[in-house]
Amino acid sequence: MSRMKTAKSGRSKASNIYDVARQAKVSVFTVSAVVNNSGKVSDRLRRRVEAAIRELNYRPNLLARSLARHQTHTVGIIVPDIVNPFFPLVVRGAEDVAQNAGYSVLLCNSDNQRQKEEQYLELLLSKRVDGILLTKTHGPFSPAQQRLLADARVPLVLMMRTIPQFRSDAVVSDDLQGAFEAVSHLARLGYRRIGLVGGPLDVSNGRARWQGFRRALKSYHLPYDSSLATEGDYRVESGYQAGLMLLPRLADSVYVANYLMTAGLMKAAEEIGLRCPEDFGLVSFDDYPWLGCFHPRLTTVDLPKYDVGAEAMRLLLRRMNGSAARPMIEKLATHLIVRESCGFALRMKKPVGEREKPVAQLSESRSAVYRQPTE
């Protein structure tokens, strides 16, 4: 008799491999072989098993399988905050690749808090994920975490941020080059007092974007005025505060290291009564589908968010499959998109042909296909 009652009758527990074996009058091995399409099974038995599976509506318990096989086909992704519009695309890139390879994704938000991050890390390891994708909060791993990770021998790939003194794979955007291009663009347009709303200096991409800014200044023989450089935390409010500081100091333009801070700065400009690009030029960092639809239409440096996630997951998959290559850092190319906030139309001084080309390559970049978000 079937263990899983049919249709109407009182429902009992889900059927397992033994039920199927009994129903098909074969051994569990045969059932397992059929289900996993492994080993040789005669057509006769295979058909019997398949019939039984259908009748009992059997579906393997992946939990049990994971326990037996020592792999869960699940990866963990820890990002600061999925609500920051930067991360959905990263996560989506990772998820697409994962899904395609038969893996599911456990999503965690650290809120940039080291404690939350650590808790999630432990949880993921306890859940025996096969790998981890991480956008690390500021600061290094604690010794406890290092040991944890080493002991668990679970591959980990960093996204967007690297950590000094910690050798591991990482996929990042070429932030230094991107910031360099952004600021160079302003310099080429003739701006002389270029302000910076930078990212946090305690994370690598914050530092890189800062560096790109300084190198571009130097490259165009512009002085570095520290009163025009502020450190933000990638959130709207810090951009707003920065705007209140910078703009009254007669910055004639500004490079803002991410989108949310740009929004904050625009708000500040509005309150102060300054218009962009008429009163000051602006280049932002990170593009979104709606940026070309509202005013000022933002000139920005597009970051390969989707590809960062996708590449990170590909790298992780390779590690999970036992790749022993030495840790590598992949750096994905950025791309300047000129619209109006930089004041290009107002100050056009360069031939049009040049406007979307980088002036110089500061570091090697890897081109990548950018996938447009679907909605």
Partner DNA sequence: TTGTAGGCGTTATCAA
Partner DNA sequence: TTGATAACGCCTACAA
**Binding positions for its own copies, 21-60, rule CB under 8 A:** 57, 59-60
Q: Which does 367 bind (CB under 5 to 8 A by kind): its own copies, DNA, none?
A: none
Closer CB to DNA, 39 or 289, in the complex: 39
Q: Which does 33 bind (CB under 5 to 8 A by kind): its own copies, DNA, none?
A: DNA
Q: Which residue has the tokens 């590598």?
A: 328
Is there binding between residue 69 and DNA (CB under 7 A)? yes
The amino acid sitting at 231 is E
Encoding tokens for residue 25? 């009058």
- The C-alpha atoms of residue 13 and residue 240 are separated, in whole angstroms, by 58
Listed residue (176, 136, 220) closest to 333, CA to CA: 176
Strands 335-337 vs 299-302: parallel, antiparallel or unpaired: antiparallel
Cβ neighbors of 69 (< 8 A, separation 6 or more) are none
Residue selected from 54, 218, 270, 329 as contacting its own copies according to rule CB under 8 A:
270
179 to 218: interface string for its own copies, x by CB under 8 A = ----------------------------------------
Q: Collapse the DSSP code of 178 into the 3-class scheme (helix H, G, I; strand E, B; otherwise coil) and give the result.
A: helix
Residue selected from 30, 72, 230, 262 as contacting DNA according to rule CB under 7 A:
30
- The C-alpha atoms of residue 343 and residue 281 are separated, in whole angstroms, by 5
Which listed range, 119-127, 134-142, 197-205, 244-252, lies at the site for its own copies (CB under 8 A)?
Answer: 119-127
> Environment class of residue 71 by beta-carbon count within 10 Å: exposed (0-12), middle (13-18) or buried (19+)?
middle
CB count within 10 Å of CB 167 equals: 9
Which listed range, 117-125, 175-183, 189-197, 342-350, lies at the site for its own copies (CB under 8 A)?
Answer: 117-125
Q: Collapse the DSSP code of 271 into the 3-class scheme (helix H, G, I; strand E, B; otherwise coil) and give the result.
A: helix
Q: Which does 224 bind (CB under 5 to 8 A by kind): its own copies, DNA, none?
A: none
Task: Please state the closest distance from residue 225 (CB atom) to its own copies, in A.
Answer: 26
Is there binding between residue 132 and its own copies (CB under 8 A)? no
b (16+ CB within 10 A) / e for 101-119: eebebbebbbebebebbbe
Closer CB to DNA, 63 or 352, in the complex: 63
Q: Which residue has the tokens 């960093």?
A: 158
H or E segment to which residue 332 belongs: strand 329-332
Listed residue (120, 119, 161) closest to 139, CA to CA: 161
Q: Which does 227 bind (CB under 5 to 8 A by kind): DNA, its own copies, none?
A: none
Encoding tokens for residue 123? 């949880």
Q: Which does 95 bind (CB under 5 to 8 A by kind): DNA, its own copies, none?
A: its own copies
Closer CB to its own copies, 66 or 219, in the complex: 66
**Binding positions for its own copies, 57-76, rule CB under 8 A:** 57, 59-64, 66-67, 72, 74
Is there binding between residue 37 and DNA (CB under 7 A)? no
- Omega before residue 296 within 30° of 0, cis: yes
Which neighbouring-strand residues pair with 302? 335
Closer CB to DNA, 30 or 137, in the complex: 30
User: Residues interacting with DNA, by CB under 7 A?
Assistant: 13-14, 16-18, 25-30, 32-33, 35-36, 38-42, 44-46, 58-61, 63-65, 67-70
User: Residues interacting with its own copies, by CB under 8 A?
Assistant: 4, 11, 14, 57, 59-64, 66-67, 72, 74, 80-85, 87-89, 91-92, 95-96, 104-109, 111, 122-123, 125-128, 147-148, 150-153, 234-236, 259-260, 263-264, 266-267, 270, 289-290, 292-296, 373-375
